[in-house]
Amino acid sequence: MESSAVFLKRATRHMFFTGKGGVGKTSLSCAVAVALADRGKRVLLVSTDPASNLDEVLGTALSSHPKAIKGVPRLSALNIDPERAARGYRERVVGPYRKVLPKAAVASIEEQLSGACTTEIASFDEFSKLLGDPAETKEFDHVLFDTAPTGHTLRLLELPAAWSGFIESNAGGTSCLGPLSGLKTQQALYAAARQALADSARTTVVLVSWPERTSLEEAERARGELASLSVKHLKLVINGVFKAADSADPIGRALQERGREALGHIPKPLSLLPRMDLPLLSFALVGVESLRGMLLLDAARLQAPAVLVKSSLSRRRTWTFPDLVSALEGLGRGVIMTMGKGGVGKTSVAVSIALDLAKRGRPVRLTTTDPAAHVETVLHGETVRGLKVSCIDPEAETRAYTREVLESSGRGLDKKGRALLEEELRSPCTAEIAVFQAFARAVHEGQDGFVVIDTAPTGHTLLLLDAAEAYHREVSRSMGDIPEAVRRLLPRLRDPWFTHMLLVTLPAATPVHEAAALQKDLKRAGIAPYAWVINQSLTPVETRDPVLVTRKANEGRYIDEACRFSSRVAVVPWLAQDAGANRLNLVYPG
């Protein structure tokens, strides 16, 4: 077991913090950054998460340029802003051609750069500079990356190899990112980023996990995939280890036992990694002083007192889980999407709603857009008449999409034309288009019954929704005709009688504020969420454990805050069981 002092002493120049949503990646990366800066190191902390909350945790408004953090000399931080990066990228590619090529040709390049691929490659470009170009970060001793949840981050870390391979093999000179001559200049940068990722002396990937089964399984999957990318300098941090102060307290005892059982079955390869355990804290890790408490020894750690804020929470203002399902059932059909920050329990809520509706005799399709999904794991093999379960598999969807395009747009092309089309389809962007089409088809099924969609964490999902109109153009270019499912996608997502979005959150600052920001983003897109779900709440349960009592006392203000954002708020109590098919049904039997 590694102590926090040893962990900090062995910090490499680059450190990535990744893991399942909600395990404390941002808190830990911020705490490590603060601790290194307090030890005299010059540190840059970078968020690659499209739904970054570094600003709130550090207490400083950030931008896409390094900004000094108040109260921490030598620490700076920035957010990689996908939209801003995309605008800069477009201008960098198109600018040189404006006075050289005819307007129609420039317009064609701009059209090529209007897709979601450009947003992804632009963010990746910014990330590559920070990792692969030492001149960009020469003012700092350490560059730490607070990343999006696992699936999105693995995609980011795969891109150096994916785009290098595409550029090397592409002979046609064009891509959905514009002329490849522009990308060629980036090839050396991508190669340098690949080398930095694989260099154990320079880069460490910290797998952060909660002491629970699904979180550890996702960390193990990430370990395996990173190994295949030759990223092998890994460490494991178990965050939130709980030891009950009162063995007679049933909630405290159950929480301790759940963690002990999960850690007793930690996957073998994961157990061989250097490991640091951090305890469950009673206080929220928001603000620099709280962050300084995270890596202290128990005896020195600040245990912040409960800040008892008057709460107006009442039974009248909130729903139970059966209240929520009954209201959804009354709508008759349509799409139900669980959305929110990673780790708030979107999957278990989606699975429980799907099961409950199916048990009530409603036909239900349960699926997921999350690359790191674990819907089938949560179901534990349970089957219910009327419930169909599927998963949007990026590899299978890409193969099917490629075959479809070749059979439609490729028909009638000569040998050279078909080779160019095949080359374009090898672009890493093809997977994004294929997944988007599968998402549209899943929504389309909502006209015949209920479709419950478990989505990826906020940032990834927002990019998926933002991509809708862009992919209309992409699909149109590639296939001529837009499939009906894609053509009707946006109107359906905006139809409150067809799509019912549930914002799932925990009763804590960051998840509630991220859900509020998500609601604002959705409203700008013309989409109104149906209800909020406050998951894993201690408020409805009885406990005497001092850590849990303090956490419970602090929940009221955030449940009140959720009630101000929505007239429909369902509160789901914390349960002793890990995520599982029947966890909500055990509390609220039908």
Helix or strand (DSSP H, E) at 84: helix 82-94
Is 461 within 8 Å of 455 (Cβ atoms)? Answer: yes
Residue 402 annotated among the catalytic residues of the structure? no
Annotated catalytic residue within 20, 29, 47, 49: 49
- Contact status, residue 281 vs residue 294, Cβ threshold 8 Å: yes
Bridge partner residues of 227 (DSSP) = none
How many helices and strands (H and E) does the chain possess?
Answer: 26, 17
Active-site residue 22, yes or no? yes
The one catalytic residue among 18, 27, 60, 76:
27
Name the 3-class secondary structure at 373: coil
510 among known catalytic residues: yes
Cβ 392 vs Cβ 438: under 8 Å: yes
Dig out the tokens for 103 from the structure. Answer: 């307007």
CA–CA distance, 531 with 534 (Å, rounded to integer): 10
Is 526 catalytic? The answer is: no
Give me the catalytic one of 4, 18, 25, 455. Answer: 25
3-state secondary structure of 415: helix
CA neighbor of 212 nearest in space, from 248, 271, 250, 264: 264
For the chain, the helix, strand and coil percentages under 3-state DSSP, each to the nearest 5: 50, 15, 35
Contact 554, 506 (CB under 8 A): no
**Catalytic-role residue among 26, 48, 137, 461:** 26
Alpha carbons within 13 A on the beta-carbon side of 11: 26
Tokens 């598999």, residue located: 393
Helix (H, G, I), strand (E, B) or coil at 362: coil
Please tell me whether residue 142 adopts helix, strand or coil conformation. Answer: strand
Helix (H, G, I), strand (E, B) or coil at 264: helix
User: Any idea how long the chain is?
Assistant: 590
Select which of 19, 21, 22, 446 is catalytic.
22
Structure tokens at 189: 């940068």
Q: Which of 510, 537, 550, 566 is catalytic?
A: 510
**Structure tokens of 25?**
């990646």
Query: Are 542 and 254 within 8 A, CB to CB?
Result: no
Give the whole-angstrom CA distance, residue 510 versus residue 342: 11
Q: What is the DSSP letter of 433?
A: H
- Cβ contact 78:110 at 8 Å: no
List the catalytic residue out of 4, 18, 20, 24: 24
The Cα-based distances of 573 to 201, 221, 259, 323, 481 in angstroms read 45, 29, 18, 14, 48
DSSP class of 455:
P
Q: Longest Cα pair distance anywhere in the chain, in angstroms?
A: 79
Distance CA 195, CA 185 (A): 17
Residue 51: DSSP 8-state = T
Q: Which amino acid, 39?
A: R
Helix (H) / strand (E) containing 375: helix 375-379
Tokens of 516: 């509020």
Q: What are phi and psi of 535, to 5 degrees?
A: -100, 155
Q: Is 49 in the active site?
A: yes
The strand pairing partners of 499, in sequence order, are: 335
Amino acid found at 497: W
Just list the catalytic residues: 22, 24-27, 49, 510
